[in-house]
Amino acid sequence: MPKSALDKDLKKVGSLEEATHALSRSIAAPGLAILFLVAIFLFMSGLVPVGPLSIFVIAGGVIAGYMALNIGANDVANNMGPAVGSRALPLGAALVIAAVCEAAGAILAGGDVVSTISKSIIVPPPDFDVRDFVMLMMASFLAAGMWLHLATILNAPVSTTHSIVGGVLGAGIAAAGFGVVSWPTMGAIAASWVISPIMGGVVAAALLGFIKWQVLFKPDRVAAAKRWVPVMIGLMAGVFAMYLALKGLSHVWKPSAGTVWALGIAFFATGTLATRPWVARRAETLENRRKHVAGLFTLPLIFAAGLLSFAHGANDVANAVGPLAAIVAAAETGRAVPGDVTLPLWVLMIGAVGISLGLALFGPRLIRTVGTKITKMDAPRAYCVALAAAITVLIASALGLPVSSTHIAIGGVFGVGFLREQLANLGLKADGPKRPKPKASEPSSLSRTPEDAIKKQLKREKRRLVRRRHVLGIAAAWVITVPAAGGLAALLYWILKLVVDL
């Protein structure tokens, strides 16, 4: 056989192998997800006693697993995306750390009550039929999972909490009319669409601005880093101690406000003093270059991302399996809208495994979107986003403002991106000094030739450091999350009602 023909055949075989490998990977993830849901079905079938609502409980378990998979695919990207985008963590290591921390948070500190899901959004009448309540929960649950699934396909990070809220709202209206809706609660949730990203963006930009002017813009960056980096790490330790006490460990421990502040101050002081020797040793080997000094934030960033994932697992596991606990309680008590419902361990396990599996199978794509496609990340910027997420939640909790952790994190990414853009447009480089201004005799706004005009336009485009299409796309997804999940839940409730009443 001629050599050219042999080369062509080898290329065809290589292309076929690549196509087969890509196809197998695309089939493997959905296949594993389906196996997980089948395992839940078998587990629930052997666990649930036979009764009039047993089929609903089993179906609720499968829907809970589906919801958990989609939370892992969509929501966890907000914690790990900046760390991966800054190259502080490779994608594989980020997936492992996030999966372990999410599962640990869900199992060790999860299980908060689900009264908000079952009582605060809608207030059904006392004589509301228990079967209708169970179908309402199932429809809202499934609709939220389907909306998250679609948002993940579209590369849009959306709020899990808002998806659940929209689902309960839509199914509640379909089941009992507009009178059951707690409109003050819905007004607070709508306010969080604006409050969350703005607060997250402002705090992240303020932190990055402090690091730039106090460390990266200084003539002697190494000396400035030895002074301020331990303080920033201490701030992280104090903030996350308060954050975990208020949010991540709220189910197992409810400290007073004074205790929370004492923890924050103690961890701030300890973190600052303990890391000064580490920073000093690292500084001895550093050159006075921005890239070298920025590397000091890599290790703190990894810890921050892990702590955010732990807190996320503890808080959002209730979003994944809270309605399932409400369905189980309603089936056991025979009453619609039961009181505070605690999540049993086996329910938490479904949420923990589902979130971790969804992250591993479907999370990488959205992690790349958050970490690389909105704006360019490095360790200090990603560190500011992670720290801003915790600080913003603390500020909002103190002020009683409703916020979304997803919106805060994405707002933080936008905040650091727009700060970089503004600094670039003001003529500030990474090392601080301004570009020379044009002389008065040389017009800066007019172009001498068409080529000059094109060059100036290209230069301006390079300074647009935040991709606007992602801003608009993500904002649109946020706004339509509640109505989209609500409309879908209403439709699913009517379908369930029609099928069950046949």
The rounded Cα 407 to chain-centroid distance in angstroms is 8
Which of 388, 454, 458 shows the shortest CA–CA distance to 417?
A: 388
How many Å apart are CA 295 and CA 380, to the nearest integer? 8
How many Å apart are CA 355 and CA 292, to the nearest integer? 36
Q: Read off the pLDDT of residues 280-312 as tens digits, 9 standing for 90 and up.
A: 998 888 888 888 898 899 989 999 888 888 878
pLDDT in tens, the chain (502 residues): 555 655 555 555 555 555 454 445 567 788 889 999 999 999 888 877 767 788 888 998 999 999 999 998 888 778 888 888 888 888 888 888 888 888 888 877 666 545 555 456 777 777 778 888 889 889 998 999 999 999 988 888 888 888 888 898 899 899 888 887 878 878 877 787 788 889 999 999 999 999 999 998 889 999 999 999 999 999 999 998 988 888 766 666 778 888 989 999 999 999 999 999 999 998 888 888 888 898 899 989 999 888 888 878 877 777 778 778 778 877 777 776 555 566 677 888 888 889 889 988 888 888 888 887 788 888 899 999 989 988 888 887 777 666 777 888 888 888 998 888 888 777 665 555 544 444 444 444 455 666 666 666 555 555 676 777 777 888 888 889 989 999 999 999 999 989 887 6
Q: How far is CA 187 from CA 112, 133, 423, 475, 482, in A?
A: 23, 24, 36, 18, 12
* pLDDT of the residue at 270: 96
DSSP lists the bridge partners of residue 181 as 122
How many Å apart are CA 229 and CA 216, to the nearest integer? 11
How many Å apart are CA 70 and CA 105, to the nearest integer? 17
Six-digit token string for 487: 């409309």
Buried-state track 119-142, b at ≥16 Cβ within 10 A, e below 16? bebbbbeeebebbbbbbbbbbbbb
Whole-number percent of the chain with pLDDT over 70: 81
* pLDDT of the residue at 460: 53
Query: Hunting for tokens 């209708």 — which residue is that?
Result: 132
Q: Read off the pLDDT of residues 368-385 as tens digits, 9 standing for 90 and up.
A: 888 877 888 888 999 999
Alpha helices in 111-256 (DSSP H): 115, 130-153, 160-176, 183-211, 221-243
Which of 457, 370, 379, 451 shows the shortest CA–CA distance to 413?
A: 370
Q: How far is CA 161 from CA 117, 167, 234, 330, in A?
A: 10, 10, 31, 22
Q: Read off the pLDDT of residues 47-90 as tens digits, 9 standing for 90 and up.
A: 777 677 888 889 989 999 999 999 988 887 788 888 888 888 88
How many Å apart are CA 97 and CA 103, to the nearest integer? 10
* pLDDT of the residue at 441: 46
